Structure 1
Amino acid sequence: MTDISITSARADLAETIKSARKKPIRITSRGQTQAVIISPSLYEKMIEAMEEIEDLNAYDAALADQEPAIPWEQVKKDLGL
């Protein structure tokens, strides 16, 4: 990841964005990170990864909270099928 000051990023925003297509750019002010610019493809990959993690967490929670299963024959009987 490359660090660029806010002043430098502002002075050449087009080049900063172009550079961010290749690797993330950390925008800093007085040595502190203020923002990160990433490519759209990296952003999409990160969103997909977070959604996968959320799905896995939901799956794990469902398994942990699982009540005893009702046999299919009992379900059909209860529904009058």
Structure 2
Amino acid sequence: MNSISESVSTREFRADLAAVMGRATFGHERIAVTRNGKVAGVVIGLDDLELLEQLEDAADLAAYRSAKASDDGQRVSLDDLRGEA
């Protein structure tokens, strides 16, 4: 798996936005944007975003299937949950 290839400060990011975006988009780089020396965000290309979304969808589906398999069929009313009944 690729890791973060470089870090740029928010000031450098603003000054070189087009270059950073080009590197992420066409160079498939992951570039950290730092604020006060700490990573505040990461610029990634669309391919990485789509892969991340696929991984999240797969994790959500696995969690759903696990919950469905362990469902005992008992339900609690909203009133009972709130303690109003």
Q: TM-score, normalised by structure 2?
A: 0.72
- Whole-Å separation in 2 of the counterparts to 1:66 and 1:54: 20
Deviation at 1:8, TM superposition (A): 0.9
What amino acid sits opposite 1:10 in the alignment?
R
What amino acid sits opposite 2:44 in the alignment?
I
Tell me if 1:53 matches 2:50: no
- Whole-Å separation in 1 of the counterparts to 2:15 and 2:60: 39
What amino acid sits opposite 2:59 in the alignment?
I
Which runs of 4 or more aligned residues in structure 1 lie more than 2 Å from their structure 2 counterparts after TM superposition? none
Q: TM-score, normalised by structure 1?
A: 0.75
Deviation at 1:23, TM superposition (A): 1.6
Greater radius of gyration (CA): 1
Instruction: Point out the structure with the larger helix share.
Output: 1
Share of identical aligned residues, percent? Answer: 22
CA RMSD, Structure 1 to Structure 2 (Å): 1.2
Q: Which residue of 2 aligns with 1:5?
A: 9
Tell me if 1:42 matches 2:31: no
Structure 2 residue runs without a partner (length 5+): 74-85
Q: Which residue of 1 aligns with 2:69?
A: 63
- In the alignment, which of 12, 15, 18 is matched to residue 14 of structure 1? 18
- Aligned residue pairs total 67
- Whole-Å separation in 1 of the counterparts to 2:22 and 2:49: 15
Structure 1 residue runs without a partner (length 5+): 68-81
- Whole-Å separation in 2 of the counterparts to 1:58 and 1:39: 29
